Structure 1
């Protein structure tokens, strides 16, 4: 690979890594908000009934961003191999812990008296309490989310490469979607189990299974809907690097 093309592949990795890390970090922080999907769409509640539990379709706001992380994972795996994904996964975990450490440090700072009431006209009587509630997520939730993310990523890498060895360069959608479905099956239940079953809330197992199943169903649907985006990103990469260079990069990634 010539030096200009090698430089382009490095720039591409930095861009993909930036989207990967930024979306994962944002998903962790906005994930504290739970939204009602039916109300957001303006439709009647689904009122699902699973494992003896009833509920509506409520998700963390992080689900808006995690599908982008799934796509970035598969694209990076496609062109930079398992080493690229593992590097970024460990880096992201480190940065998530780093970010939460500073969030807790910011919460611990003594607030200015005038700042506490700065948002009172917006319906926030105590800005410090609101800040702490939003950014001070429970340690069990953080531990569950980080663990689930890392385990899910490592599984995604392994399944993606296994399918790739079986199918060659055909059926991009299968290795991308298949790896996401397997990894998110683990992710969806690990984060809930650590955060809410063995954590302080002590969820009963039927509730854990019901909520985990609904969350996993959403992720499967999003994985299917993101297939066109995967092909669009691949087309953009081939245009940026050139078809032959992109193919060479993918072959090197496949060979490890």
Structure 2
């Protein structure tokens, strides 16, 4: 319940906050990278804020896979996707309620002259990006779970870092490619080189974060073993 709740909460938060694009360099106090790739110039690490919590989702995926197997990951992945879809239906309904005049103008002195417009822009993400994101999420999760299980069948209970890191790196690549091409190429009409360059830039960030997050896998494993006890934890891993 704890792992599942944390998994779903982070997935939902990533979808909601992901509407904002931030500059990684500026956030770190650095100048924009401004490099070229595949003939596309002026590229920098301009990323969706959703990448802040998505790595946590993939870590949770590996932990769940370790103790509950592919079946457990599939169950929570589809449940999370369903909850996210339901959340956006609720957002859609709330956006289309009639706002009171005083509320629309209530934050004008703080630089927000139209609260309804701001509310709509933040919560009313386009259907194309929602479909792209959920599709990428499901495909990425299933790939992560399958690869993780395949490596575990080869290495046994050893080398957690290997199956966790490799499965995350591959699934993150798949996730990035799917969401980028569905949304940027098919929906917005960006050129193939442009979409590929943007996807590769985003993936390099995810690649580094996946490597840096590997020690967290061991910390979570240690916490679970302490909570369940060594015997029960080993039994669950064997039966997963």
Structure 1 length normalisation: TM-score? 0.92
Work out which of the residue numbers 183, 208, 217 in structure 2 matches 1:230. 217
Matched position secondary structure for 1:198: helix
Residues 190-215 of structure 1: CA deviation (Å, up to 9, x unaligned) = 1011112111x211111100010011
Who is 1:195 aligned against? Answer: 183
Structure 1 stretches (4+) deviating beyond 6 angstroms?
none
Whole-angstrom CA distance in 2 between matches of 1:93 and 1:51: 34
Who is 2:105 aligned against? Answer: 117
CA displacement at 1:182 relative to structure 2: 1.1
Residues 123-165 of structure 1: CA deviation (Å, up to 9, x unaligned) = 0000000000011101110000000000000111110000001
Whole-angstrom CA distance in 1 between matches of 2:155 and 2:36: 38
CA displacement at 1:235 relative to structure 2: 0.4
| More moved, 140-149 vs 238-247 | 238-247
Structure 1 residue 88 corresponds to structure 2 residue 76: yes
Work out which of the residue numbers 45, 51, 61 in structure 2 matches 1:73. 61
The 5-angstrom pairing of residues 143-182 of structure 1 reads 143-182=131-170
Structure 1 residue 183 corresponds to structure 2 residue 171: yes
Query: How many residues of Structure 1 are paired with residues of Structure 2 in the alignment?
Result: 239
Matched position secondary structure for 1:169: coil
Work out which of the residue numbers 16, 31, 34 in structure 1 matches 2:21. 34
Structure 1 residue 206 corresponds to structure 2 residue 193: yes
Who is 1:101 aligned against? Answer: 89
Matched position secondary structure for 2:22: strand
Who is 2:126 aligned against? Answer: 138
Matched position secondary structure for 2:113: coil
Whole-angstrom CA distance in 1 between matches of 2:175 and 2:72: 20
CA RMSD, 1 decimal: 0.7
Whole-angstrom CA distance in 2 between matches of 1:195 and 1:123: 31
CA displacement at 1:35 relative to structure 2: 0.3
CA displacement at 1:48 relative to structure 2: 2.4
CA displacement at 1:216 relative to structure 2: 1.1
Whole-angstrom CA distance in 2 between matches of 1:48 and 1:16: 40
Whole-angstrom CA distance in 1 between matches of 2:3 and 2:123: 26
Whole-angstrom CA distance in 1 between matches of 2:222 and 2:3: 14
Give the gaps of 5 or more residues in structure 2.
none
